[in-house]
Amino acid sequence: MDGDEELLDGNPRIGRPVRLVAGLLAAAVIAALIIVHLWPQARHEATTAPSSTVPPASTAPPQPLWPEALGVCGSTQVPFVSSSRPAERTGIRVLLGGDRLRTVDFDTGRWADTPNLPMGPHEFVSAIEPGAVALAQCLSGGAQLMRVGAGGSTVVAQGGVALLGQGRGVMDTTVVPLGRGGTAHLPSDFQAEAVAGNFVAGQDPPGLALVDAATGSIRVRLGQGATVVADDRMLIWTGTCDNPSNPCPIHRRMLATGATTDYFAARSPRALDGAISHDGTQLAFTLRRAQHDPRFAAEHPAPPADIAVLHFDTGRVDIVPGIELPPQGYGAALAFSPNVQWLVIALNAGSSTRLLAWRPGLARPYECRPIPARALYTPALEVLG
């Protein structure tokens, strides 16, 4: 037995412990190799999110709201305009209504208040007719028709929201002549939108109707739609346009004959926002854009709008460049110069009114300096020359 122990390593007392330690070391090396091989895969699986995990919330800042400015009765959304100073003489002079009634020379930018029209702190000029104006009130919603002349101003009638046209005014449901003649009462459910020659155009459920301004009786029913503009020759109205991205009909009815012609705009016109040229060949109106402005949050269901000109003889529609009207409110008063060379545009900018002039061939409209006149929605405008 002693001879066998000496043959192992020369020390018969430590041969078995050495074999035990060597076995343990070998097991440790194998375990380390297994851990090193599996560790990268285990770490990758631990940091990969399951497919059902909700992604982190976006940190992008919210879109800004459409810019606003303080107007005559509170804040109003302002338009965007790319314009230039007048590079030629236009000869344009206008009456501009807001919290004051001002005469403005477009070429010089000079303006003067009308001296014979006293106005309270919460009143504004809502409509202008030669020799007369309509005054509205912010707080009460009341209005009055005023005859204005060199000798002063006279109250013709008082009531609700007033409309003017062709020597007549509409107060609530009463037609009031500004000259001679008697009054006429409109149907009780009738909502007047414009004075059209010897008629008053407006909504009489279930649709648009023409009411005789002398008798107050309904003469013509025109179906669903809303008035764009009227004068003593014609009525322009738009059909029902549910989607501003789709083509929309524009109807023109000649008041003397009843003849009606249909035109189509690429998108939906905005109602109560138009002007007919003095020669009866053109219509200026506001045309909604197909989409919202991506720079701002879409607070309003309707998109912004352009200013467009429809040529009755060809049906062509031109877009006035450089103007983007806000989604809310009307904001643009339109009128042609007497020689039909210029389209005059008054824009509600809150604390002031921006006055522009455009003709075909201009890459952007001309603009005079801002006029300190505040309006509610659309400034009142009449072109004198």
Angle (nearest 5°) at CA 149 between 144 and 151: 115
Q: Is the peptide bond before 206 cis (omega within 30 degrees of 0)?
A: yes
Indicate the CATH number of 68-383 among 2.60.40.10, 2.40.30.10, 2.130.10.10, 2.40.50.100. 2.130.10.10
Q: For the chain, what is the largest distance between any 2 Cα atoms, rounded to a whole number of angstroms?
A: 150
Contact predicate 189/205, CB 8 Å: yes
The Cα 222–Cα 262 span in angstroms is 13
Strand partners, 176: 169
The Cα 311–Cα 308 span in angstroms is 10
**Which structure tokens are listed for 327?**
């989604």
Helix (H) or strand (E) holding 314: none
Domain ranges of the chain: 68-383
The Cα 203–Cα 68 span in angstroms is 31
Number of Cβ atoms within 10 Å of the Cβ of 26: 10
**Which structure tokens are listed for 15?**
């041969």
Helix (H) or strand (E) holding 3: helix 2-9
pLDDT of the chain, 385 residues: tens digit per residue: 443 333 333 333 334 443 433 444 344 434 443 333 433 333 333 333 344 455 555 566 788 999 999 888 888 899 999 999 999 999 999 999 998 899 999 999 999 998 888 888 788 999 999 889 999 988 777 899 999 988 888 999 988 878 999 899 999 899 999 887 789 999 999 999 999 999 999 999 999 999 999 999 999 999 999 999 999 999 999 987 767 667 889 999 999 999 999 999 888 888 888 999 999 999 999 999 989 999 999 888 889 999 999 999 999 999 999 999 999 866 799 999 999 999 999 999 988 999 999 999 999 999 999 998 888 888 999 999 8
Long-range contacts (CB closer than 8 Å, 24 or more residues apart) made by 292-297: 292/327, 293/66, 293/324, 295/63, 295/64, 296/63, 296/64, 296/65, 296/66, 297/62, 297/63, 297/64, 297/65, 297/66
Secondary structure (DSSP) of 176-245: EESSSS--EEPPTT-EEEEEETTEEEEEETTEEEEEETTT--EEEEEES-EEEEE-SSEEEEE---S-TT
Q: Which of 272, 276, 274 is nearest to 194 (CA)?
A: 272
